[in-house]
Chain A
Amino acid sequence: MTYSSSLAMGRERAGASFGRNQNAVSFRRQDRKLGPISNTVLLIVLACILGLVYLTQVTKTNAYGYQINNLQQQQTALQNEHDDLQVASARLQSLDRVQTSPVAKSLAPAAPSGTVHD
């Protein structure tokens, strides 16, 4: 028996009775299990995390909704401005305004004086 094999044998025996060889490393296998309370708490925490994830997505979507709303308001404001300009333009070109303009007042009426035939 070599020294190393005797150490190995000793390790095996240590699995059966620990403590005799203080210099040996213990490789005790032990199944870890969560207790019922830990399980419950863990489930609750997981549920909360899922809820937070859902809230995050909903909030993000609603944030887009705000952006859409802002853009729609901008669009409405621009449309209103366009309509106001259209009204102002039409008023400036109204027949009454043109008729009383200084340019129109300096024009002379042109009645047909004859017809040129080919």
Chain B
Amino acid sequence: MGPSQGQVMPIQAVRRTRWWYAFLLVVAGVFLIRLFYLQVIRYSYYHHTALSDQLKEYQISAERGTISAHEGDGTIPVVLNEKLYTVYADPTLIKISERQRIADAVVAVIGGNASAYVKQFGTTGSRYQILGERVSAANKDKLLGYKFSGVGAQEQDYRTYPQGDLAAQVLGFVSNDGNGEYGVEQALNKKLAGAPGQLKAVTDINGVPLAANTGNILTQPTQGSNITLTLDAGMQRQLQQVLAQQVPATKASSGSALIMDPNTGAIKAMANYPSYNPANYSDVTDPSVFTNAAVAAPIEPGSVMKTLTTSAALDQGVIQPSETYYDPAHWTIDNFTITNIEEDGGPGVKSLENILNLSLNTGATWMLMQMSQPGATQASQINQKGREAWYNYMTNHFQFGKDTGIEQGYESSGTVPDPNTADGGYGPALDLTYANTSFGQGMTATPLQMGAALSSVLNGGTYYKPYLVDSVTDASGQTTVTRPAVVKTNVVKPTIAPTIESLMEGVVAGHFLHFPSQYNVGGKTGTAQVAKPGGGYYDNEFNGTYVGFVGGNNPQYVIVVDVIQPHIGTYAGTGAAQPIFVSLANMLLNDFNVTPKT
């Protein structure tokens, strides 16, 4: 008969049970206390230790935006991104017996010198030796396929230029630290670079984020914007070829040229000689070649300025298009004498056509005299009124002395002398300085500033901001097209444009330049003395300049050419800059849909 309900367990069994229960509680208690100690009291320490091992923080690079240019009705890429690899070795992981074998394998895949690699593998105190840079993915895979211990590859984005050196100085390049230098790459670095993303996550041993961790932070990168330039690739390529052929022939140190649309301010082509290949920027020994001189290197423009002096005088009404005046062939101002080149024929009655065709410095000075006092016949009549009037046109109408805001690094604003101060190196010869500015000396301007100013006259009086960026497409695919921006209206009256065009066409005809009769081509040469660093001018150094237009009923393209210190035995403007203008004008007429006269 066994125990039934109500009967009590034997005392010993109960005691045993209780002892075992107490023992179990003690053991559980020990565990609990230990767990409490580890997970509560020592929480910070173990949490920190675990995170330092498991928590990985990655920056997710944003892809830099691409740059395109126009080509006919479409666009072509001029700057793209390419993923290439840096192959490296960790000398501490390469056994001595393996060095030669690994070196031979590396030479077979990426080239180089085996003994140099062996030497690198033996470098003490280093865990990172670069074996090759810009290695293609295929070669990288081939090399890593050998599974050599201590040899690895790092992925890196590089800019690539499928069009070679096209528009090199306009584009600029991207340095190793990922920043744009010079050109559009610098000016629009923030737009092109985008914004990096971030991944902060607990990872496994292979670095793969664990999705179950609710504390993961993932911020997607904002990819860089893609940019389309206003440049026409075909026009740009031909412009560069013309400069490369003709600037060296003049024994000049350098040259620049640009072609722009005078009715919008869009730059269609812009180049300098010498140039470089931005893909190999690190091989360049003279960093001055990185500079886009067309926007960054102002020079005294010389007689090309006379087109603007004439425009200003006509606009003020102080001279008339058909007016003539007596030119004594010299003016004495501030004890200095202004003269002309000997071919200008000496004193006599001259017209506006003569002033531009013969490039009369005395004629330009005469226009400044009229701005001072209409009807003036003496250079001594140049006064503050005239200086201030001309200064107003140079700065507030033609925008000299100011940045244009073009999308380029290192733009220079040039200089315009103050009309009311004798300081700044001009001394008491302020009238002489201002007389000089009327024919493009004593002030400095970039080719871009000259082109934009002339455009504002030829299009009827609107100064458009010159620009290079046609459109920007952001990471979301939205495209923003640049609209021409008006900086100033009423630069000159609309009636001035036909007069200036006619005068400039007269210069082209006067230089015996022939173009098809269904088009209008006009221009003006400039031969500017080169200033010495300490003041004054060199006797035998000149810069050659040319400004001109090509069109039908209205100017369709404006061309500006600068040739720096050519040595050709004739006037720099006529002998060095003018032939380049002629080549470019013919190129435009032949290949770029210039609308003929109706």
Q: Hey, which bits of chain A sit against chain B, CB under 8 A?
A: 18-19, 28-31, 35-37, 40, 57-58, 61-62, 64-66, 68-69, 80, 83-84, 86-87, 90-91, 93-96, 99, 109-112, 114-115, 117
B137→A80 contact, CB < 8 A: yes
A112 to B1 alpha-carbon distance, docked (Å):
129
19 new A-B pairs (CB below 8 Å) besides A84-B83, A95-B234?
A: A31-B5, A37-B21, A37-B24, A40-B25, A62-B204, A62-B210, A62-B211, A64-B211, A65-B208, A69-B209, A80-B83, A83-B82, A87-B160, A87-B162, A93-B76, A112-B516, A112-B590, A115-B518, A117-B598
Nearest residue (CB) in B for A86 is B80
Q: Report whether A62 and B83 are in contact in the complex, using a CB–CB cutoff of 8 Å.
A: no
Contact with A along B14-28 (1 / 0, CB 8 A): 000100110011001
In the complex, chain B residues whose CB is within 8 Å of the CB of A30: 5
A111 surroundings in chain B (CB, below 8 A): 590
Which residue of A19, A61, A80, A86 is within 8 Å of B1 (Cβ)? A19
Question: Of the candidates A19, A40, A66, A95, which one forms a contact with B24 in the assembled complex, judged by CB atoms under 8 Å apart?
Answer: A40
Q: Do A90 and B596 have beta carbons less than 8 Å apart? A: no
Q: Chain A residue with minimal CB distance to B211?
A: A65
- The chain B residues found within 8 Å of chain A, CB to CB, are 1, 4-5, 17, 20-21, 24-25, 28, 76-77, 80-83, 137, 160, 162-164, 166, 204, 208-212, 233-234, 237, 516, 518, 589-590, 596, 598
Cβ contacts under 8 Å, A87 to chain B: 80, 82, 160, 162
Q: Return B452 CB to nearest CB of chain A, in Å.
A: 27
Which chain A residues border B589 with CB–CB below 8 Å? Answer: 112
The A interface, classified by DSSP as helix, strand, loop or mixed, is: helix
A-B pairs with CB below 8 Å: how many? 81
Are B137 and A84 within 8 A (Cβ)? yes
A114 to B516, CA, bound (A): 8
User: In the bound complex, how far is the Cα of B137 from the Cα of A115, in angstroms?
Assistant: 54
Chain A residues near B137 (CB-CB < 8 A): 80, 84
Pairs of residues from A and B, 6 with the lowest C-beta to C-beta distance, nearest first:
A65-B211, A90-B162, A61-B212, A58-B212, A91-B162, A115-B518
Query: Least Cβ distance of A67 to chain B in Å?
Result: 9
Are A28 and B4 interface neighbours, CB within 8 A?
yes
Cα-based distance from A59 to B147 in the complex (angstroms): 31
Evaluate contact between B80 and A110: CB separation under 8 angstroms.
no
Can you give 28 contacting A-B residue pairs, CB < 8 Å?
A: A18-B4, A19-B1, A31-B5, A35-B17, A37-B24, A40-B21, A40-B24, A40-B25, A40-B28, A62-B210, A62-B211, A65-B208, A65-B209, A69-B208, A83-B82, A84-B82, A86-B77, A90-B77, A93-B162, A94-B164, A95-B163, A95-B166, A96-B164, A99-B237, A110-B590, A111-B590, A112-B590, A115-B596
